[in-house]
Amino acid sequence: MRIALIAGNWKMNTTAAEATKLVREMLDRLEEATGVEKVLCPPFVSLAAVRELVKGSSVKLGAQNMHFEAKGAYTGEISPLMLAGLCEFVILGHSERRQYFGETDHIIGKKIVAALRNRLKPIFCIGEKLEENEAGRTKEIIARQMSQGLSKAKPSPDIVIAYEPIWAIGTGRAADGEQAAATIGFIRYTLSRLWNENVAQELRILYGGSVTSSNIAEFISQPEIDGALVGGASLNAQEFLSIVEQTAAIKTKQSAIRRQQIADSK
């Protein structure tokens, strides 16, 4: 059974002081939420400080990006080797990286390989633009992003996929739960074709795009959706805590029902 995952992508927000304040506000209640993996992705410069704060807790850390080379003359870049001791996850291929920093499926594919080689778990972001959605091209775009992004990677349950329709990011216009679950079902099907059914069933697939405490239940109550990648709402302690706590409650209930079904079928 897949363990639910809620990740907060803080993007280019919080100074080091703000980052530590935010973590202090959330830590105790995050620790109490069980049955869900909690991942905070602060800016690079706050990773070490946040790591000290969450040490010994069940809260995990992720970076928001990285270069694919281990070291070298790449001014301003951060390598997988540098992150390996600092965090467990790394967000790769976020649509903002694709849009503002020219990241292509090919580059993202190299980053995914580099992350896995350094035992970092990639949170691989995919999703279509509004015009692609309106033209009925969602599946085509996602299938391309997946086949190119994963072409060099070995099948691994350590990969997390985040389906983030670009038209839903930071717009307040989230997809609806059923729509997101249908696309995520397609993503799982595509994984089974690219790799195999076992990995497709093991790998976690998140929804991202205007997730808040008011709509998280709509996504999480879909068994196909394993969690969320939260942007804006992850910067507000009460919002993020509510998202994590609702997820813990709903997914714990779903797991109990699933276990009962398995027991009944024996």
Which residues lie near ligand 13P (CB under 6 A)?
A: 9, 94, 164, 169-170, 208-211, 229-233
d(CA 144, CA 146) in angstroms, rounded, equals: 5
How many Cβ atoms from other residues are within 10 Å of residue 34's Cβ?
Answer: 8
| Angle of CA points 166, 182, 223, to nearest 5° | 110
For ligand 13P, the closer CB: 128 or 164: 164
The residue from 128, 164, 239, 245 that is catalytic is 164
The residue from 37, 94, 103, 245 that is catalytic is 94
d(CA 187, CA 136) in angstroms, rounded, equals: 16
Residue 11: CB minimum distance to ligand 13P, A: 7
Residue 172: CB minimum distance to ligand 13P, A: 8
For ligand 13P, the closer CB: 175 or 191: 175
Residues 6+ apart with CB under 8 A from 230: 6, 7, 8, 9, 208, 211, 240, 243
Residue least distant from ligand 13P (Cβ): 231
94 is catalytic: yes
> How many residues are present in the chain?
266
67 is catalytic: no
For ligand 13P, the closer CB: 62 or 80: 62
Write out the catalytic residue numbers: 94, 164
